[in-house]
Amino acid sequence: MNFIPYGRQWIDDQDHAAVAEALSDPMLTQGENVERFEQAIAEKVGARYCVALSSATAGLHLAVQALGENGDAVGLTSPNSFVATSNALLYSGHRPRFIDIDSNTGNVDIEQINSALASETTVFMPVHFAGLPVELGELRSAQNSSRLKIIEDASHAIGSKYRSGDSVGSCSHSLATVFSFHPVKNLTTGEGGAITTNDEEFYQRLLRLRSHGIERQPARMSFVHEGPWYYEMQALGFNYRMTGIQAALGLSQLSKLDRFMSRRSEIVRAYNDELSAIDWLRTPMASYRADVCYHLYVLQIDFAAIKMTRGAVMEKLKQRGIGSQVHYIPIYRQPYYRDRFGFEFAAFPETEAYYSRCLSIPLYPAMTDNDVERVVDAVKALA
């Protein structure tokens, strides 16, 4: 019996051929493949600029770093995310502040955000959890603030659209959007990420920070350009470049994104049809949307009702060849954050309630109909 993990990449002959061809490129790190991938991403989501990077973590870090703000700034984000989201704030000296979620969606609660975007908040990092966008057009406080910078953590959400019809990544409501191309995400480059933006100055800062803070364009140099060898380090940057090999894989994957999205939607609909009537669990995002590229399928299970712990449920699923995962341990629960900021769990009742019940079951395009049936049967057999 084959094991069905909670998530997995789709790699086919087209991807193998793209990578093999990229290995023949004389420039494996800073060649044309990276530029082509950036242009393709920007065109796909409707943004002016894209910067490809070694990871989404690098993207989140650079996006905050490129703001150039001091360490007194407050960054607002969701506790229901991987630690990389709020870590990006800490890397640049920002003070993280978490907002409770809507346990129905896993996203930050819009009304609480409108109340929380106080004058001292300069950065807001919404997390589009499981692929479902935070509807940024509904943020009244953001629309009235000239100081607030919005950086979208769309690690789960390439391919998704807002209700307005704009693509996530178009930056129609934000300064920048960050995508992840980790193997379990909606498309993969192995490891990798990207930032999209419509702000040219911000884009140029990102390009410099991506590669050691170095500027090579004569028109952007501080001193006289001495010759073709000359470059200037204008900021303290990093080595966050994507390789041409990764970019070639990304281009191949991007061409299949719509197909991946369609298959994910089919699986979500099948799960909803089979599991929504079970009284001891809640299916995610009950109001199915065709414009969302679903990355995760997170059940909320009443473990007491079935007289099993979450660990026991995961083990029982594993025995039947079904993988599962918890998305996520709330960030404020991590020892680093508890020791330094003293967050109280009680301040986040919806996040705590969600965390006590959540469990992700398999969702990825390579799943067959038989795989889906096996997962459904295994879940139903829990009680």
CATH number of the domain encompassing residue 54: 3.40.640.10
Side-chain-side CA neighbours of 282 within 13 Å: the count stands at 15
* pLDDT for 305 beyond 60: yes
One domain for residues 312 and 373: yes
Q: Which helix (H) or strand (E) holds 292?
A: none
Task: Look at residue 5 and tell me if it is in a domain.
Answer: no
Question: How much is the pLDDT for 308?
Answer: 98
With pLDDT > 90 as the criterion, what percentage of the chain qualifies?
Answer: 85
Instruction: Say how far apart CA 22 and CA 108 lie, in whole Å.
Output: 40
Q: Residue 286's pLDDT band (boundaries 50, 70, 90)?
A: low
**In a domain? residue 165:** yes
Burial of 383 (0-12, 13-18, 19+ CB in 10 A): middle
The reported pLDDT for the residue numbered 145 is 61
Q: What per-residue string of b and e applies to 107-118 under the rule 16 or more CB within 10 Å gives b?
A: bbbbeebeebbe
Which residue among 254, 277, 304 closes a domain? 254
pLDDT digit string, tens, across residues 358-377: 999 999 999 999 999 999 99
CB 235 within 8 A of CB 211: no
330 and 191, same domain (yes or no)? no
- Amino acid 121: pLDDT: 74
203 within domain boundaries: yes
Residue 58 has phi, psi (to 5 degrees) of -60, -40
CATH number for 318? 3.90.1150.10
Contacts of 219 (CB under 8 A, 6+ apart): none
pLDDT of 23 higher than 60: yes
Q: 1 falls in which pLDDT band (50, 70, 90)?
A: confident
**Beta strands, E only, 187-272:** 193-197, 214-215, 232-233
Query: pLDDT grade, residue 120 (50/70/90)?
Result: low
Task: Write the pLDDT tens digit of every residue in 36-67.
Answer: 999 999 999 999 999 999 999 999 999 999 99
For residue 70, the enclosing domain spans 13-254
User: Given a cut of 70, is residue 118 above it in pLDDT?
Assistant: no
Residues 290 and 206 in one domain: no
Q: Specify the pTM.
A: 0.96
Beta strands of 167-215 (E only): which ranges? 176-180, 193-197, 214-215
Q: In Å, how far are 191, 216, 231 from 226, measured between CA atoms? A: 37, 11, 9
Number of domains within the chain: 2
pLDDT at 143 over 60: no
Name the strands in the sheet holding 281-282, side by side, starting at the edge strand that comes first in the sequence.
Answer: 281-282, 297-301, 358-361
Q: What is the rounded average pLDDT of the residues 234-258?
A: 97
Q: How many CA atoms lie within 13 A of 107 on its CB side?
A: 24
Q: What is the pLDDT of residue 144?
A: 55
Q: Which of 206, 235, 254 is the last residue of a domain?
A: 254
Same domain, 241 and 340: no
- Residue 324 included in any domain: yes
C-alpha 200/C-alpha 241 separation (Å) is: 19
Please report whether residue 2 resides in a domain: no
The answer to whether residues 237 and 199 belong to one domain is yes
Question: Pick from 224, 254, 284: which residue ends a domain?
Answer: 254
